Each structure stands twice: as C-alpha cells, then as structure tokens.
C-alpha cells in the first residue's frame, strides 16, 4: 500500500475534492460515466478548459501502460463527445491521445494477451477524522491491484467486489478492532482486504484462496504493495510477524486438524456466501476456525466490553422493541469478541434463498450470525467511487454459541 500525504502534486487543485475525486476515480478505473459526472462537478457543470488540462496533466499522463489503453480510449471518446455537444473547444492533447489510441489499439488486442489491468484504489481519509495512531496519520492510502478484465468469463477471483470495498472501509474505520490481532481471511481474491488489514498493524495476516491462479495473482498484488510474503499449504506455517502468509485453502478439502493449528483471533470474508454447494464447507471451515482457541461462554454480569457495555445489560428489557433486540444482539456480539474468536463477513445478498440457507447451516453448526451493518461506525473512504453501492452490502458478525 502506498501512503501519500495530501499537499503534494503538480496541481494544487489535485488535493481538494472534487479534483481529488476525479484523479482517484481515474486511477481506480471507474466507469467513464462516473468520470464525466465528476468532471462536470470540477468545472461547475461543464468540462472546462481547466478541467481538460487537469485530465491530461494529472490523469492521462499518470496512467500505467499495462492494460490502460482501452480504458483511456473509452473515457476520451465520452469526454470529447461531451465537450463537443456543449459547443466547447476540445484540448489538442486530448484529441491527439484519442487519435493515437484509435490507431495503435486493435479491437481484438485484449483477447490475444494477458487481459489484466492495474487499478489503484485510493482510500481518502475525511479531513475531520483524527486517524488512529497505528495509521501514522496518512491522508491518502493507495492500493495498486492487478485485476482481471474477464470477470464474466470465470475469472471472478481476480476482480474487485463491493463487499471487499466495504470490508476494507470497515477495517480502516475501526483499526483498533484488528490491531495486534491474528487475522485470517477466506477467499482473499485480489488481496484488497488483506492489504488494508496489514495497514492497521495486526499481529499476523493469513490470506487464503481455493484457486491457484487467483493465489498467484494475489502474490503479484502483495508485491505491488511492497509486502513481504510467505506461501505454502496449511501445514508447516512458520511464525513470522513481519510477513503476510498466503495459503491454498479449498474449503471442501480443508482438514480440521490443519485449521485448528492456525488459531486466528478474527476471521474475515468478503462475498463468500454465493454458492449453495459451497455453503456447508464454508460453514465448517468458519466453525472450526472460531473454535481453535479456548473460548469462554458469555457471563451474566460485570464483564466490561467496548463502549461501556456490561454483561448485565444483555439480560434486561425483555419487552424490548425490534431495534432494541438488534442492539442487544450487537452487544452480545461485542461481548463475545472479548472472550473468543469472531468473524466479520461482508456480503451482498444476491439470492435470498442462498443467504437463508447459509443462516440455516450456520445455526445447525451452533454459530450465531448477527447483522451488525447499522451498528458499526463507517467512514466514507471512497467518495469518488460512484459505481460502488455501499448500501447493498451487509456486514455479519459471527461467533460460536455455547447455549
């Protein structure tokens, strides 16, 4: 992960919204329509000459060559059309770059080569936010990621999903939950969540995936973010707090004896609830990981948890409203997190039957699943990412129930 202090750069406007949002959206390869919308905001409703200069100087000129040409061509085509439709003058540099891309890039070029691109996800700290000490007060955290262009052709493990963005924002919003904790991620994909985890100083980060090609791409992304790594199977993991561990972990063949040796404090997963056939294996893995350490059942009173909640509060208000019940379940989850391993799973509910099946199998495994989406504090680190629908993601807290 690249850390940058707000204040540098060639253009002073680049350090302020919406100019900062335009640059961040371009580096993240947001859809062209989103860039057009932000460009209009920069120009007060139109893509002015100064906005065009900014697009050229701060965006086009900073683009990485690998895989970016088709994206730039599509963006420039829409920018030029937008400017011409308004009866304004298009900057020569934008015309020339578009003409160059049209003549040098053939329509089937992507099909011939490695269809990977580098997207740079910028997490922008709100200006009024006092960052936790573990973050050393960065104002912009940039995560370069090699991603796939062929998401619809089965390469889903090398794509960035909304739940991974949500889980990453949650980690950066609540670094104290993960600092000095052993963290284990299921289905790590491109590695965005794991890279954000490493930024908040956990005691250990173990990233896993069941697909070998995805795991190889994950290694590339960790190297892009200057992270030392160790790869292997679930056996023979060496203790080394300075390295991120990566494991090949197919859920269906994971051995309980190997999982119990890992002993994480926190299990994480983003968009792992998607295939009914995989759910029994997923639940078995989560259940095993959450019982790898000696756990203490919930106590009736006097045990203090974050925000001043005590065990006594969980037993009061038997006639509570539905909102009180939701809050009580969250308090129970908080209390559980002080005595035993817990899991944070972010998920978009695309199929309610699949989601309900997960809840059923989890209950049969004595796992308590709590929707904590509305209870946790979340900062908006991605205000420029218009394609990201934060409201579509649910955050589940999971712990092992002893009664």
CA distance 403 to 300: 13
Per CATH, is 117-295+340-400 categorized as 3.40.50.2300?
A: no
3-state secondary structure (DSSP) of residue 402: coil
* DSSP H stretches of helix in 203-245: 212-224
Binning pLDDT at 50, 70 and 90, where does residue 105 land? low
pLDDT higher than 60, residue 314: no
Q: Name 370's bridge partners.
A: 397
Q: What is the pTM of this model?
A: 0.85
Check residue 203 and give its pLDDT: 94
DSSP 93: H
3-state secondary structure of 261: helix
- What span, in angstroms and rounded, lies between the C-alpha atoms of 399 and 403? 12
**Distance in angstroms (rounded) separating the CA atoms of residues 144 and 176:** 24
Q: How many residues does the chain have?
A: 403
Assess contact for 119 and 147: CB atoms under 8 A. Answer: yes
Q: CA geometry: angle at 320 spanning 316 and 323, to 5°?
A: 120
- For the chain, report the end-to-end CA distance as a whole number of angstroms: 42
Nearest to 1 by CA among 192, 153, 129, 136: 192
Using DSSP's 3-state secondary structure scheme, residue 3 falls into strand
Q: Which structure tokens are listed for 293?
A: 């350490």
Report the chain's mean pLDDT, rounded to a whole number: 83
Q: How far is CA 319 from CA 325, 331, 399, in A?
A: 9, 17, 25
What pLDDT is stored for residue 292 in this prediction?
A: 66
Residues 23 and 59: beta-carbon distance below 8 Å? yes
- The pLDDT-based confidence of 324 (bands split at 50, 70, 90) is confident
- In our burial notation (b when 16+ CB lie closer than 10 A, e otherwise), range 46-79 reads ebbeebbebbbebbbeebeeebbbbbbbebbeeb
Helix (H), strand (E), coil (C) string for 338-361 = CCCCEEEEEEECCCHHHHHHHHHH
pLDDT of residue 238 exceeding 80: no
Which residue from 190, 178, 181 is spatially nearest to 216, judged by alpha carbons?
190
Question: pLDDT-derived band of residue 69, with 50, 70 and 90 as boundaries?
Answer: confident
Per-residue tokens: 30: 């947001």
299 CB contacts (<8 Å, ≥6 apart)?
311
* Rounded (10°) angle between helices 162-173 and 192-199: 10
DSSP string, 106-124: -TTHHHHS--EEEEEEEEE
Per-residue pLDDT, averaged over 121-148, amounts to 72
Residue written as token pair 């070029």: 109
Distance CA 283, CA 341 (A): 15
Give the three-class secondary structure for 146.
strand
pLDDT tens digits, 341-379? 999 999 999 999 999 999 999 999 999 999 999 999 899
Cα Rg of the chain (Å, integer): 23
Report yes or no: 83 and 58 within 8 Å, Cβ to Cβ: no
pLDDT band at 401 (very low <50, low <70, confident <90, very high): confident
> For the chain, which residues make up each domain, given as ranges?
8-113, 117-295+340-400
Query: How many angstroms separate the CA atoms of 346 and 124, rounded?
Result: 21
Looking at the chain, the whole-number percentage of residues with pLDDT higher than 70 is 76
Share of the chain above pLDDT 90, in %: 64
Cis peptide before 200 (omega within 30 of 0): no
Q: Using the 8-state DSSP alphabet, how is residue 58 labeled?
A: I
- Identify which has the larger pLDDT, 305 or 201: 201
């Amino acid at each position: 992960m690249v850390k940058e202090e707000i204040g540098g750069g060639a253009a002073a406007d680049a350090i302020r919204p919406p100019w900062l949002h335009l640059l961040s959206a371009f580096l993240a390869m947001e859809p062209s329509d989103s860039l057009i919308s932000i460009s209009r905001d920069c120009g007060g409703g139109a893509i002015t000459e100064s906005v065009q200069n900014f697009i050229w100087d701060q965006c086009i000129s900073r683009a990485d060559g690998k895989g970016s040409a088709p994206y730039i061509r599509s963006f420039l085509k829409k920018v030029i059309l937008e400017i011409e439709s308004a009866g304004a003058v298009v900057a020569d540099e934008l015309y020339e770059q578009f003409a160059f891309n049209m003549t040098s890039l053939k329509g089937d070029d992507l099909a011939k080569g490695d269809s990977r691109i580098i997207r740079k996800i910028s997490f922008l700290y709100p200006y009024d936010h006092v960052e936790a000490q573990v973050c050393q007060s960065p104002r912009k955290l940039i995560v370069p990621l090699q991603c796939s262009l062929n998401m619809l052709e089965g390469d889903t493990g090398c794509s960035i999903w909304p739940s991974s963005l949500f889980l990453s924002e949650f980690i950066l919003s609540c670094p104290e939950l993960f600092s000095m904790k052993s963290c284990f991620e299921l289905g790590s994909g491109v590695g965005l969540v794991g890279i954000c985890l490493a930024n908040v100083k956990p005691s250990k980060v173990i990233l896993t995936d069941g697909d070998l090609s995805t795991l190889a791409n994950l290694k590339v992304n960790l190297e892009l973010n200057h992270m030392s790594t160790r790869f292997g199977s679930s056996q023979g993991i060496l203790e080394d707090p300075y390295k991120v561990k990566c494991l090949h972990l197919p859920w269906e063949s994971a051995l309980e004896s190997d999982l119990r040796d890992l002993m994480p404090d926190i299990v994480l997963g983003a968009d792992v609830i998607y295939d009914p056939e995989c759910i029994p294996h997923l639940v078995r893995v989560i259940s095993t990981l959450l019982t790898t350490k000696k756990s203490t059942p919930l106590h009736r009173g006097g045990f203090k948890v974050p925000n001043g909640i005590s065990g006594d509060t969980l037993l009061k208000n038997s006639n509570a409203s539905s909102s009180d019940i939701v809050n009580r379940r969250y308090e129970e989850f908080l209390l559980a997190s002080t005595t035993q391993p817990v899991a944070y799973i972010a998920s978009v509910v695309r199929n309610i039957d699949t989601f309900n099946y997960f809840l059923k199998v989890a209950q049969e495994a004595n796992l308590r699943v709590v929707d904590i989406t509305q209870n946790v504090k979340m900062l908006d680190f991605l205000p420029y990412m218009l394609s990201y629908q934060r409201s579509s993601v649910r955050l589940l807290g999971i712990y092992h129930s002893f009664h």
